[in-house]
């Protein structure tokens, strides 16, 4: 499908639409090797070779990034008062339409996927698709050995909502690895609260079979490979 040249350049680079149009008028853009000065020229992103300042503009319909979310930023595209996860994107990874696929609380850290692909986010978040989310929860005291059974049975939250069965594995003194298939508001914290525990730290460490990259420092972001992306939907049926 053909697209306007200025729109295409702005969607594939960190130039705003206005700056992309200016770059075209300033003779910085070629299409199939020929200078193009029409901002509204129609180009086929799959077939036409577009270059900006002599460098090819590689066409990616959608982008998918892994972030190691730090504490203190909100999982939103904009906020009146708080810093958002989008504020952490380095200039070269920015483009229109990126949003966090799912939310982590402001004080939750770990694996967050950012994308501009709405269908992907819908598939990942839909309860019907059963994409597991795994968290490492630090509790205010050592968990009783009955905690895994309670998760397996399905925990009733304080408001009466009953969660689908989850998996809890006690990993050390005060830490429990929890896998759930839903994404209710504050779900992990509320599940532990229903059992009488307070979560003092929460980190998401896996989505489906995709692990948080341990080499990614808090606040860092990097593109996901195709293989990594496929891991999101790659998990044993539960
Ligand atoms: N459950 C929570 O309680 N908080 C999160 O951020 C994610 C899951």
For the stretch 72-109, pLDDT in tens is 999 999 999 999 999 999 988 988 899 999 999 999 99
For the stretch 195-221, pLDDT in tens is 999 999 999 999 999 999 999 999 999
CA of 104 relative to ligand 1 center, distance in Å: 6
- Calpha distance 69→220 (Å, rounded): 8
For the stretch 117-169, pLDDT in tens is 999 999 999 878 889 999 999 999 999 999 999 999 999 999 999 999 999 99
Q: Which domains does the chain have, with CATH numbers?
A: 3-56 (3.10.290.10), 64-127+220-229 (3.30.70.580), 132-207 (3.30.70.1560)
Q: Which of 67, 73, 103, 104 gets mutated to test ligand 1 (max ligand atoms within 8 A of its CB)?
A: 104
Predicted confidence at residue 235, as pLDDT, reads 65
CA of 177 relative to ligand 1 center, distance in Å: 13
- Calpha distance 202→215 (Å, rounded): 19
**If you average pLDDT over residues 62-66, what whole number do you get?**
95
Contact status, residue 93 vs residue 65, Cβ threshold 8 Å? yes
Among candidate residues 116, 84, 81, the one with its CA nearest the CA of residue 101? 116
The Cα-based distances of 114 to 62, 66, 69, 117, 185 in angstroms read: 11, 7, 11, 9, 19
CA of 89 relative to ligand 1 center, distance in Å: 22
CA of 158 relative to ligand 1 center, distance in Å: 16
For the stretch 181-202, pLDDT in tens is 998 999 999 999 999 999 999 9
**SS3 assignment for the chain:** CCEEHHHHHHHHCCCCHHHHHHHHHCCCEEECCEECCCCCCEECCCCCCEEECCEECCCCCCCEEEEEECCCCECCCCCCCCCEHHHHCCHHHCCCCCEECCCCCCCCEEEEEEECCHHHHHHHHCHHHCCCEEEEEEECCCCCCCHHHHHHHCCECCCCCECCCCEEEEEECCEEEEEECCCCCCHHHHHHHHCCCCEEEEEEEEECCEECCCCCCCCCEEECCHHHHHHCCCCCCC
Nearest CA to ligand 1 atom 3: 186
User: Which atom of ligand 1 is the closest one to the Cα of 186?
Assistant: 3
Active site amino acids = 105
The distance from CA 216 to its chain's CA centroid, rounded to whole angstroms, is: 14
Residue 68 has phi, psi (to 5 degrees) of: -95, 95
- Relative to beta strand 109-115, strand 199-207 is parallel
Q: Is the pLDDT of residue 238 over 60?
A: no
Give the number of other Cβ atoms within 10 Å of residue 179's Cβ: 17
Instruction: Decide: residue 233, CB within 10 A, 0-12 exposed, 13-18 middle, 19+ buried.
Output: middle
- Calpha distance 170→178 (Å, rounded): 9
| Position 234 confidence tier, pLDDT thresholds 50, 70, 90 | confident
User: Within 6 Å (CB) of ligand 1, which residues are found?
Assistant: 104-105, 108, 186-189, 202
- Calpha distance 201→69 (Å, rounded): 13
Enter the pTM of the model: 0.84
């Amino acid at each position: 499908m053909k697209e306007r040249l200025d729109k295409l350049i702005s969607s594939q680079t960190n130039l705003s639409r206005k700056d992309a149009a200016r770059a075209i008028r300033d003779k910085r853009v070629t299409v199939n090797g020929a200078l193009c000065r029409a901002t509204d020229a129609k180009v086929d992103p799959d077939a036409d070779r577009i270059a900006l300042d002599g460098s090819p503009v590689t066409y990616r319909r959608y982008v998918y990034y892994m972030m190691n979310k730090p504490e203190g930023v909100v999982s939103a595209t904009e906020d009146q008062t708080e810093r958002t996860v989008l504020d952490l994107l380095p200039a070269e990874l920015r483009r229109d339409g990126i949003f966090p696929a799912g939310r982590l609380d402001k004080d939750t850290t770990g694996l967050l996927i950012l994308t501009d692909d709405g269908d992907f986010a819908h598939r990942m978040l839909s309860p019907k698709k059963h994409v597991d989310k795994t968290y490492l929860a630090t509790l205010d005291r050592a968990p009783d050995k009955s905690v895994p059974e309670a998760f397996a049975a399905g925990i009733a939250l304080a408001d009466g909502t009953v969660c689908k069965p989850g998996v809890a594995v006690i990993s050390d003194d005060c830490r429990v690895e929890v896998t759930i298939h839903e994404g209710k508001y504050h779900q992990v914290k509320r599940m532990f609260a229903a059992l009488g525990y307070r979560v003092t730290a929460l980190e998401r460490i896996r989505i489906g079979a995709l692990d948080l990259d341990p080499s990614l420092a808090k606040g860092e972001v990097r593109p996901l490979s195709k293989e990594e992306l496929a891991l999101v939907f790659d998990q044993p049926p539960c």
